[in-house]
Structures are given as structure tokens and as C-alpha cells.
């Protein structure tokens, strides 16, 4: 079905000579934890560009409430963290990659502290460790209680902006990755108005996942799989795209089309219990997982969906009464504020929650150094498929994956410098002439969200997946010959492709595994 190598606007061919090329040793695409950490770990002899689609606070990393895993406790071990990760991943993980991630934790945390990250401390002045679902031990670091992503991203952003060799481009999005016979030779970037060419020797893609292909998601606007799609068009392989994680406890009060607020798994880690509207602790019912409320996310999600059907409700509730008011507010200030805005006052009040799309386990296939099959192209964070998450991500492993593999990507580039190519090859001029109104593009993005929400959710039927494939294929054919004129068009076409990749992968796996659950 793939018919297009590039999606940038036709006018770029005519304007290339008149436009001044930007030239860098390394282009980092994405301003979250993975992208910023990679930029900082690159040797300062390199001229580095960081392209951020919006602002730092617009990305998934900034929103992360959960913490970062790291084996630091005296009663913990690398082997136990590895075992918990493999178990949560339904034994579908790449064990070698898991070992690299887990063992790289302590050094990465030390680096983060060097870059100005202030992790929460306990009363003894030691790093405070908490527990989340699927973890057998307390090994989760937090910043500002439930503001870990915000604090880490801000600290890394400040360090990046202080580096003389790094230039940050705000409100710049990657459209295409350019390659020649030797590998990466550049990228096409959109500055919000028009496209321009960046010539570079290496590209690190850290653009996040594809949550906004669903109607309801905890991920921010713009999270539509564009980086993944660009890498695929450049010749990269994708894997595990069928594994889409639904977080069991997203806040059940939200407006239509609004990003859904997350109630961190750390709340259950501190003793909160899931209950139905009758006050029953259903995760303790016979036949449920032995870890009950702290079972892996896919298991808790399906248990909640089953309970909502059984009881006839569209939500369940978190009972936080095991905590004092002071403890809850200090540990979860962001969640406290959101609850108060909606007239809910934990721990006295129950918090309404339901499962919502949260994370993509699959992505662009990489090796242990975040390298893809395209020379000079690296992928880190949620856009990558390192194999560490398997069929279901263990809580707070995503932030650890970001920094460990971003560091390894930078170290590989430092050891293996590539010469900046003399030319950024655009290929043959296309003849795309069809144009589409922005209103139609918006309407078709809503179609994607409807298809994915209704037919490719946490529970799936083969007949629904086949119907989803047909609907998405029709959209692909509609837009395959369009000359895109704005970012909305780029996002739509990449979204169609990424959604199809998820559906096709789901159809290829007819048995249930982890987050990919087939029903009758």
C-alpha cells in the first residue's frame, strides 16, 4: 500500500535553491526527555539542532506524573526489576534490552542530577522510593510528588539552552527524513508556515507515540505518530505496533476532545483501592490477579472494563482513604488540584476513573544503541521499539528507557562521527496536485479517532479490526496524491499510516497477548 516516499509540499523543489539550508552535525527531533537528554550527551564539538514541535510543556514527557524506575534500595536488585519488567511485558520483551535499560538506571539518574534534576528525598535525606503497579519493590523516583515529567523536562531544557553548541527551534516539526545511498543526509522541517531543508549527518528521532489517533487519550495534542511514519518512509522497520497501552485510571471527568487527565499509578502504589459504585473492592474478588490493585496495567484495565459492564456504569472509583489529607496533597499536588477543580476532595471523596489510551509499546525497530537500519538514523523514547516493554509496559519504565537509550545513541554518535553530506537529496520532483481544505482534513482526523476508539481499543474483535482496515485504507487512497499545504495535512497522512500499521499488526496477531486482547 505504501506509495509515497515523501510528503513535503511540492514547492520545496522550486524553492530549495533560494532557501538557505540549515547545516548541523546532528538534528534531534523532539523536545521531551529522550530528545533533550540525547542532545546533552552529544559531544560539544558537534553542532546540534533540537526541533521542538511546540513548546517544552506541550509534550508527553512534561505531562508524566509517574516517576522513573531505578534500582537503588538495599532490598532491591537488578534481577528483580528485570523479572518484573519481563512479567509485565507478558514475556514478549527483548531480555537483553531490558538488562541494558535496568543496569543503565543508576548512571542515568546520576546524570539527571548533574543536569539539575531534584528528585524527592525522604526524611533521612535519601532519594525517596515509591511503588507502582507490577513492581515487587519500591524503586520509583519522583520529582515534586506527581510532577516528575515536568521537573525533569524543565531541568533538561534549561541545560540544553545553556549549551553553546545546541540551537533550539521552537514550533518546528519534522515532515520528512531525507536519505541517500549512504544513509541520512537531512530532513525537511516545517516552521509553522513553510518547509525548509536541514542538511545533517545524523538524526535522533524522539517524537513520542500516537495517542491522539484515539478520541480519548492522556497524551497531548499532536501525538499522532508523525515521527514513526517519517522513519518508516525513510526505510525503517516497525514492530509491536499492535501493543497499545490503556492506562486503567484516567480521570473520568473530561470534556469531549479534551486530553484526559491521568491519575497516576503511584496513587495505588501508596495504598489506594479500586471500587465500584457499590463500594466493592473488585480487584479482590476471587479469580483476580494476586497483585490485586497493583497488577500490570493491561490486567487492571480489562478488570475495570469487565466490572463496568457487570455493574452498568461508565467508571469505577479510587478510594484513597488509607492516606491522610496532608500526605495525599503533598504526594500528589497536581492530582489534588485537578480533583479540587472538579469538586472532589480526596481522601474523603472517591476519585472517578476509567481506562484511557496512554502509550504505544511498539514503534521503530532499534538496536541497543538506538540505531535503526538506516545509517545515521536513531530513535529514542516512545517512538522506538527497543523491545523493553514487550506486550505491556511496566509503570515508570518509559522515562528510564528514554534516558538510557538516548544516552547510548549519543555515545554511539560520539564514537562514530559521520561527515555532513554535501547535498540533502530530495529525490525526483513529485506531481501531486490535489489540494484539500483544512476543514476536510480536520473532519477526517476525527474519523481516524472514531475508528481507532471504536474498533481498535483495549478489547478487540477480528471483524472490527477488518472493518477498521477498510475504512483507514479508503482514507489512505483519498490522500495518497494530495499536495499537502500545512501541518494538519502532514499530521493526518502520517496518522492514517500509523493507524493502519497498528491495525495490520493487530490482525497479524490472532491470539491475545498483553495489551493486545482479542475477544469473541
Query: Which of 101, 127, 119, 97 has its CA nearest to residue 34?
Result: 101
C-alpha pair distances (Å), 270 with each of 133, 226, 353: 10, 36, 17
Residue with cell 531543508: 197
Q: Is 297 a catalytic residue?
A: yes
- 310-to-38, 246, 303, 307, 381 alpha-carbon distances in Å: 47, 20, 10, 5, 37
Which three-class secondary structure state does DSSP give residue 10? coil
For every residue of 403-431, DSSP letters joined together read HHHHHHHHHHHHHS--PPPS-----SPP-
**Peptide bond before residue 190 is cis, with ω within 30 degrees of 0:** no
Dump strand ranges (E) for 104-182: 140-141, 166-169, 173-180
What residues contact 71, with CB distance under 8 A and at least 6 apart?
77, 78, 80, 81, 102, 105, 106, 139
- Residue 394 is classified by DSSP as P
Rounded to whole angstroms, the Cα distance separating 84 from 11 reads 52
Judged by DSSP in three states, 507 sits in helix
Query: Residue 61 in contact with residue 402, Cβ under 8 Å?
Result: yes
Of these residues, 199, 268, 297, 460, which one is catalytic?
A: 297
Neighbouring C-alpha atoms within 13 Å toward the C-beta of 85: 31
Q: Is the Cβ–Cβ distance between 372 and 494 less than 8 Å? A: no
**Cα 386 to Cα 381: distance, rounded to the nearest angstrom:** 9
Buried/exposed code over 40-77 (b: 16+ C-beta within 10 A; e: otherwise): bbbeeebbbbbbbbbebebbbbbbbbbbbbbbeeeebe
Q: Which three cell numbers stand for residue 519?
A: 475477544
How far is 141 from 126, CA to CA, in rounded Å? Answer: 11
> Which residues are part of the catalytic machinery?
297
Amino acid at each position: 500500500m505504501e506509495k509515497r516516499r515523501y510528503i513535503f509540499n511540492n514547492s520545496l523543489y522550486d524553492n530549495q535553491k533560494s532557501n538557505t539550508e540549515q547545516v548541523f552535525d546532528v538534528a534531534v527531533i523532539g523536545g521531551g526527555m529522550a530528545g533533550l537528554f540525547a542532545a546533552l550527551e552529544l559531544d560539544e564539538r558537534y553542532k546540534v539542532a533540537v526541533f521542538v514541535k511546540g513548546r517544552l510543556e506541550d509534550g508527553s514527557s512534561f505531562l508524566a506524573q509517574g516517576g522513573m524506575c531505578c534500582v537503588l534500595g538495599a532490598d532491591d536488585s537488578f534481577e528483580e526489576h528485570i523479572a518484573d519488567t519481563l512479567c509485565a511485558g507478558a514475556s514478549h520483551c527483548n531480555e537483553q534490552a531490558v538488562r541494558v535499560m535496568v543496569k543503565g538506571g543508576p548512571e542515568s539518574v546520576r546524570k539527571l542530577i548533574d543536569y539539575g534534576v531534584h528528585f524527592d528525598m525522604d526524611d533521612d535525606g535519601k532519594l525517596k522510593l515509591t511503588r507502582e503497579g507490577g513492581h515487587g519493590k519500591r524503586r520509583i523516583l519522583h520529582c515534586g510528588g506527581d510532577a516528575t515529567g515536568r521537573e525533569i523536562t524543565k531541568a533538561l531544557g534549561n541545560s540544553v539552552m545553556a549549551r553553546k553548541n545546541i540551537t533550539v527551534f521552537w514550533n518546528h516539526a519534522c515532515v520528512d527524513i531525507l536519505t541517500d545511498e549512504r544513509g541520512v543526509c537531512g530532513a525537511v522541517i516545517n516552521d509553522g508556515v513553510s518547509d525548509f531543508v536541514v542538511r545533517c549527518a545524523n538524526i535522533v528521532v524522539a517524537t513520542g507515540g500516537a495517542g491522539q489517533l484515539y478520541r480519548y487519550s492522556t497524551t497531548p495534542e499532536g501525538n499522532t505518530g508523525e515521527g514513526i511514519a517519517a522513519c518508516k518512509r525513510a526505510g525503517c522497520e516497525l514492530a509491536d505496533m499492535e501493543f497499545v497501552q490503556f492506562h486503567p485510571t484516567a480521570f473520568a471527568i473530561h470534556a469531549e476532545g479534551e486530553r484526559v487527565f491521568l491519575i497516576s499509578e503511584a496513587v495505588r502504589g501508596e495504598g489506594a483501592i479500586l471500587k465500584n459504585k457499590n463500594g466493592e473492592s473488585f480487584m479482590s474478588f476471587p479469580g483476580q490477579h494476586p497483585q490485586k490493585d497493583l497488577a500490570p496495567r493491561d490486567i487492571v484495565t480489562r478488570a475495570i472494563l469487565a466490572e463496568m459492564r457487570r455493574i452498568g456504569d461508565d467508571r469505577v472509583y479510587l478510594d484513597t482513604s488509607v492516606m491522610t489529607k496532608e500526605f495525599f496533597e503533598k504526594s500528589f499536588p497536581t492530582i489534588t488540584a485537578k480533583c479540587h477543580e472538579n469538586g472532589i476532595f480526596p481522601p474523603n471523596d472517591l476519585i472517578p476513573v476509567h481506562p484511557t489510551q496512554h502509550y504505544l509499546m511498539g514503534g521503530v525497530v532499534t538496536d541497543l544503541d538506538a540505531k535503526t537500519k538506516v545509517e545515521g538514523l536513531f530513535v529514542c523514547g516512545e517512538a522506538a521499539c527497543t523491545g523493553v516493554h514487550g506486550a505491556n509496559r511496566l509503570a515508570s519504565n518509559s522515562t528510564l528507557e528514554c534516558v538510557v537509550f538516548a544516552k547510548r545513541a549519543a555515545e554511539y554518535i560520539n564514537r562514530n562521527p559521520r561527515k555532513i553530506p554535501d547535498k540533502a537529496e530530495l529525490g525526483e520532483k513529485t506531481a501531486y496536485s490535489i489540494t484539500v481544505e483544512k476543514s476536510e482534513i480536520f473532519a477526517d482526523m476525527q474519523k481516524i479517532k472514531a475508528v481507532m476508539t471504536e474498533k481498535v481499543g483495549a478489547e478487540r474483535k477480528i471483524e472490527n479490526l477488518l472493518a477498521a482496515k477498510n475504512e483507514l485504507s479508503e482514507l489512505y487512497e483519498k490522500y495518497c496524491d494530495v499536495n499537502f499545504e500545512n501541518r494538519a495535512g502532514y499530521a493526518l497522512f502520517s496518522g492514517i499510516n500509523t493507524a493502519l500499521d497498528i491495525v495490520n499488526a493487530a490482525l497479524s496477531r490472532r491470539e491475545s497477548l498483553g495489551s493486545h486482547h482479542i475477544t469473541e
